[in-house]
Amino acid sequence: MSEMISTAPSYGDLFERAVVLKSERLSEELAHGLLASRFPSSDQKRLKRLAAKQRSGKITPEELGEMDRYIQVADLLEVLKAKAAAALQTKP
């Protein structure tokens, strides 16, 4: 019997469906601000440490949950960045 693969939407997918940002409504300033958004270096380092622990099989359930939250927020940020990039492409 074949294994079923989950097709549950990610938080990013759900966010994109729920938050309809019209590209033409985003100001250039907001769009550039969104495109420049990223985790601070301390969070980037923490996520790298969590990923290394996961690869080594030494991650705790709490750390796995923390890593999942980082990934969820990163997914949401990528949705916003895509909307911002589209807004800048449509500006005259």
**For residues 33 and 68, is the Cβ–Cβ distance under 8 A?**
no
76 lies in some domain: yes
CB 59 within 8 A of CB 50: yes
Report if residue 50 sits inside a domain: yes
Q: What is the pLDDT of residue 10?
A: 75
79 part of a folded domain: yes
In a domain, 27, yes or no: no
State the burial class of residue 75 (Cβ atoms within 10 Å of its Cβ: 0-12, 13-18, 19+). Answer: middle
Q: Is the pLDDT of residue 17 over 80?
A: no
Q: pLDDT tens digit string along 23-39?
A: 567 788 988 999 999 99
Q: What amino acid occupies position 15?
A: F
- Residue pLDDT, tens place only, 49-77: 999 999 999 999 999 999 999 998 898 89
* 55 domain-assigned: yes
Range of the domain at 74: 42-92
Q: What's the structural domain count of the chain?
A: 1
Establish if 47 belongs to a structural domain: yes
